[in-house]
Amino acid sequence: MPTIQKKYDVLIAGTGVAGLYCALHLPAERRVLMLTKSSADKSDSFLAQGGICVLKSPDDYEKYFDDTMRAGHYENDPAAVELMIRSSPALIGELVDYGVRFARDGAGQFRYTREGGHSVPRILFHDDVTGREITSHLLEAVKKRPNIQIAEDCELLDVIARENECFGGVVRENASGKVFPVYAEYTLFATGGVGGLWENSTNYRHLTGDALGIALKNGIALEHIDYVQIHPTTFYSEKHGRRFLISESVRGEGAVLLDKNMQRFCNELLPRDIVTSAIRAQMQKDGTKHVWLDMRPLGERTVKEHFPTIYRHCLEEGYDVLRTPIPVVPAQHYFMGGVKVDLDGRTSMRRLYAAGETACNGVHGKNRLASNSLLESLIWAKRAAADMSAQGFGKGGVQPIDLAAYADYESLKGNYAKEIREEAEREAYCD
């Protein structure tokens, strides 16, 4: 790994879509350090299955807006929703320019799939590995940029702050345990979700909401930290570890939910929180640890062409979805709340930005509409980069920092986790 310098123009914590897209939109002459707690390809962005929403034609605007607001229980910020939807066609064009391939029909036109809460199909996809398709292309593009350095297995522990201004971050190199300051003119939180704090989650275990812990410690504004989304359908397993997601587009394409008597019990295409509640009520009524999801209505061709990863995973678990229903259970999946940001990704602390799942820009309200998060992460990451450039460089400086305060890593992380969970559990919205 190249040596980490003492000072950069921009420090980015996280190498998911948000971190990568911000880095790619910074001026080529600006020196950027990207930290990632694990290896660069271990982010939830790589796991996204279903797809990415787009405004597929101007006459879908009203419906797309309404679907997003309804799913979010009208707690969304309408200005943020409008910004996301109107920015989406250009964003998709940029991804295609980076080499991202979305499913197309015989005439070369985009194919669209559907998930719960969407009144029409408007989701672009690449098999059932859309996140990997997008994120791997962005990561490759970043690796070609000489101005961007990626430091793997390096963790942001804190911001260096004075009088509500950010001067960079305190970094821990996990292999050696070495802790040191990295100064930067601008810093971006792009540390993803909080699933690692939950026993049952579809997220990578190392995603523990670190930016939220740092924000709580430094008085940086947070919003809706109790809005935690539970995904209705993850593969039921007695094993510990990350839960395997059964994408909502499986239901969008015709899969049905069944109770213990193999009877349908809800409308599978309602927003996630409502389907989750219906499943929990059914499990309680039936006295079971899961319900069943029947993918047989999709037929062999759709299963094998659109959902090859899900098909393979279930086979490995002993279930052939072409012949039998699979056991599914709700699990923590997504975090709607986060570090409060404005339409340019600015936090309440000067020269500190946030984008992606760790940020709350108001798009999702109380409940995220399926496949809006990759889109929202990319758009806000790009806007944060543009705002940094517009604010200009040549600021900052070096502030003294007491590194002894970070000597006890375990207790620091334990405190962050405890405070985040306490905040999040104020509502009975999470499991």
Ligand X SMILES: Cc1cc2nc3c(=O)[nH]c(=O)nc-3n(C[C@H](O)[C@H](O)[C@H](O)COP(=O)(O)OP(=O)(O)OC[C@H]3O[C@@H](n4cnc5c(N)ncnc54)[C@H](O)[C@@H]3O)c2cc1C
Q: Which residue ranges make up the site for ligand X (CB under 6 A)?
A: 13-19, 35-38, 43-45, 47-52, 130-131, 155-156, 190-193, 202-203, 206-207, 210, 245, 334, 356-358, 371-374, 377
Examine the residue annotation and report whether 323 is marked as an active-site residue of this protein: no
Q: How far apart are CA 68 and CA 245, in angstroms?
A: 22
- d(CA 292, CA 235) in angstroms, rounded, equals 10
Per the DSSP assignment, residues forming a β-bridge with 350 are 165
What angle, 0 to 180 degrees and rounded to 10, lies between the N-to-C axes of helices 373-391 and 78-97? 90
As a whole number of angstroms, the distance between CA 31 and CA 11 comes to 9
Q: Which is nearer to ligand X, 271 or 356 (CB)?
A: 356
| 264 vs 308, beta carbon nearer ligand X | 308
Cβ 410 to ligand X shortest distance, Å: 14
Report, in Å, the least distance between residue 209 CB and ligand X.
Answer: 8
Select 303 or 384, whichever has its Cβ closest to ligand X: 384
Annotated catalytic residue within 122, 251, 272, 346: 272
User: Which one, 87 or 372, has the nearer CB to ligand X?
Assistant: 372
The answer to whether 210 and 416 are in contact (CB under 8 A) is yes
Which residue, 11 or 265, has its beta carbon nearer to ligand X?
Answer: 11
Are 192 and 186 spatial neighbours (Cβ–Cβ below 8 Å)?
no
Rounded Cα distance between 208 and 19, Å, is 16
Closer by beta carbon to ligand X, 53 or else 279? 53
Judged by beta carbon, residue 36 or residue 282, the one nearer ligand X is: 36
DSSP character for 364?
S
Sign of the C-alpha dihedral, residues 389, 207, 275, 264? positive
Q: Rounded to whole angstroms, how far apart are CA atoms 344 and 387?
A: 6
Residue 307: how many other CB atoms lie within 10 Å:
26
Residue 210 φ then ψ, to 5° = -55, -40
Strand extents, DSSP E, 297-404: 326-335, 338-340, 352-354, 359-360
- What is the DSSP track for 174-243? TTTTEEEEEEEEEEEE-----GGGSSSBSS-TT---HHHHHHHHHT--EE-TT-EEEEEEEE--SS-SPP
Q: Shortest approach of ligand X to residue 182 CB, angstroms?
A: 11
Pairing verdict, β 326-335 and 228-235: antiparallel
Q: Angle between the 308-316 and 299-306 helix axes, to the nearest 10 degrees?
A: 100
Nearer residue to ligand X within complex by CB, 54 or 298: 54
Q: How many helices (H) and strands (E) does the chain have?
A: 12, 16
Q: Which residues are catalytic?
A: 272
